[in-house]
Amino acid sequence: MRWNGRTRCALVCIGFVLLFSAFSFRLVYLQLVKHEEYAGLAAEKHVYKQPIYAERGAITDANGEVLAHNVPVEIVVADTSHLNRERVAEAVALLSRDLKIDTDELWEKLGSDRHYIVLKRDVPESAADALQAKLREQNLRGVYFEHDAARLYPNGSMLCHVIGFTDFEHKGIQGVEASMDEYLRGQDGYRYIEHNRAGQEIVLYRGQERASRDGYQVRLSVDLNLQNIVENEIDAAMHEYSPERATIILMRPQTGEILAMANRPNFDLNQRSTARPEQMKNRAVIDMMEPGSTFKIVTAAAALNEKKVRPDTTIYCEKGIWNYGGRTLHDHRPYGELSVQDILVKSSNIGAAKLAISLGDQKFYEYIRRFGFGERTGVELPGEINGMIRPPQNWSKISITRIPMGHEVAVTPLQMTVAMATIANGGKLITPRVVKLITTADGKTISEFSPSLVRRVISEETAKQIGRALRGVVSDRGTAAAAAVPGFIIAGKTGTAQKVDPHGGYEKGKYIVSFTGFLPADHPEFVGLVVLDDAKTSKPELNYGGLVAGPIFARIAEKAARYLDLAPQPDLIKPTAAGRVASTSAPGH
């Protein structure tokens, strides 16, 4: 090969061709083969998936009054790598003063070398704006603000156990906030954004976006006007009797809607961090109690429904003392022959025991279960318990005489209310409801909770017979004359049970007193239950359901009837002798 000019030129050209071919191959390799990988790496550097937070839905009462909603707040965070080390003292002084944080705590937090430190949550917008302005004025860097929302409960402690609350991640952890969390929570959206070196978004390069869906609104069946009546009366009862615990429930028997529910002790939903665990318990659904004589409605209903007896069938009540199974059963008065109706009116333990014996263990147990005892009612409140009903094979020889008067069984206050509602609505066991409706923020209905029939427990006729007997309880013949409401006929039943000692046996001198009833007796608009645990009365002989819980029920029922615009019967408006008898005569049982 001769190295002439032509050859050299050709070699240079070939060299260039090879060089540019190599470049081209490399370019193709990078752009096509490695495209995904490098594009991903590049995106990691400047593309950011920005979350779009959904707003948690509000909770309202039956009339749309707000019970829980959100308030915009800021989270104050710090990045210590952006802080000027020489000016930390200034930052601490300012933050400590404006955010009301202890200076030692701030020194500890800002002294670390972390990039993300939460200084304070739930800072109101106005306070955050003021702090931001001061930081800018003093040219202090490294403190940032993040948008957040805090859950606010405008009514404080009212209905606290039903509403419940959320944790700092906005997840419902108690009450309706927990049970309806799925609906309330909503769905967060996102948006892919690119930002420049200063961290500002380049809107032009905004990528894929999915809008957030705000949480649905939950409308409760609770009417705040009725709840207010109940709260005032339970507070008055706490003041008057200083019981350890108290529960009041109002429910519509035809639909199972809970109209009001209050427990004591309670707590302020806005100050929940300071509440003790025992204040947070919704005792209406998680507390078990021996119901006492209110349980006799189950015994009598079972015997009547099985046609073992008629309302006017008389039963010999052994003059108040009866030996059965080697143990003595007492009545609080020496009754002779009593009709089935009068067994309820006078609350005879011996009469109730004999009714249960006529049914037999298995049948009686079957009715207890049919009334819903021993299983959850299904109300939309978390933590509900079953209660405790032992099967007949675990009964002792005397259980058949003790269970009919509400001993040896443990029920929740709500189960007892539902049982009374079954009598009031003509024998149907209805699932209690605390949630009425789920809607979007603009009012479109998503889901409606209609009444749910569990089963027919007793015939309509039996329910009417029990209802008639229960009217006698709230009369001067019965144990709850003090539960009478002028202008209305009330049906109800008192209960007084000795308090169970957790270590075994019963606590001496401590009682759980209760009253459950409905109004008006003919066409019940609501069923109510009042339970006071260890009420302190001026005299021990006054600590009975008819004398303590009965009058509380009467006051609530009177106000509730007026609110619900129930027309009183003119001939019943004047206070009867019953009221006077109630305050002076023998205690109710």
- Alpha-carbon distance 282 to 133, whole Å? 45
Site for another protein in 253-282 (CB under 8 A): none
* 197-205, 208-216, 407-415, 490-498 -> range binding another protein (CB under 8 A): 197-205
Number of residues that bind another protein (CB under 8 A): 25
The packing angle between helices 460-473 and 413-424, to 10°, is 110
Distance CA 177, CA 183 (A): 9
Q: How far is the CB of 208 from another protein (least distance, A)?
A: 16
Query: What does the alpha-carbon distance between residue 162 and residue 229 come to, in Å, rounded to a whole number?
Result: 16
Of 270 and 358, which CB lies nearer to another protein in the complex structure?
A: 270
- Regarding 565 and contact with another protein (CB under 8 A), the answer is yes
Give residue 338's Cα distance to chain centre. 42
Q: Which is nearer to another protein, 127 or 581 (CB)?
A: 127
Is residue 491 within 8 A of residue 559, CB to CB? The reply is no
CB atoms within 10 A of CB 453: 11
Residues 320 and 331: beta-carbon distance below 8 Å: yes
Q: How far is the CB of 23 from another protein (least distance, A)?
A: 26
Among 54, 57, 70, 347, interactor with another protein by CB under 8 A: 70
Site for another protein, residues 88 to 147, rule: CB under 8 A: 125, 147
Integer CA distances (angstroms), 289 to 385, 386, 500, in order: 12, 12, 8
CB of 200 to another protein, least distance (A): 8
Name residue, tokens 């509602």.
Answer: 421
Q: Does 572 bind another protein (CB under 8 A)?
A: no
Joined tokens for residue 334? 């020496």
Nearer Cβ to another protein (155/349): 155
Length of the chain: 589
Does 567 participate in binding another protein (rule CB under 8 A)? yes
Site string for another protein, 150-169 (x = CB under 8 A): --x-xxx-x-----------
Ordered alpha helix ranges (H), 474-564: 545-563
- Nearest Cα to Cα of residue 379 among 335, 429, 331, 332: 429
Q: Within 7-46, which residues bind another protein (CB under 8 A)?
A: none
User: Between 454 and 489, whose beta carbon lies closer to another protein?
Assistant: 489
Identity of residue 266 = N
Q: Which is nearer to another protein, 371 or 488 (CB)?
A: 488
Using the Cα atoms of residue 17, residue 20, residue 24 and residue 29 in order, give the sign of their dihedral: positive
As to burial, measured by CB atoms within 10 angstroms (0-12 exposed, 13-18 middle, 19+ buried), residue 541 is exposed
Binding region for another protein (CB under 8 A) out of 297-305, 344-352, 495-503, 563-571: 563-571
Q: Which one among 43, 53, 69, 88 touches another protein, defined by CB under 8 A?
A: 69
Q: Which of 189, 207, 265, 568 binds another protein (CB under 8 A)?
A: 568
Least CB distance to another protein at residue 206 (A): 8
Q: Residue from 9, 42, 130, 573 that binds another protein (CB under 8 A)?
A: 573
Residues near another protein (CB under 8 A): 65-66, 69-72, 125, 147, 152, 154-156, 158, 201-204, 206, 224, 228, 487, 565, 567-568, 573
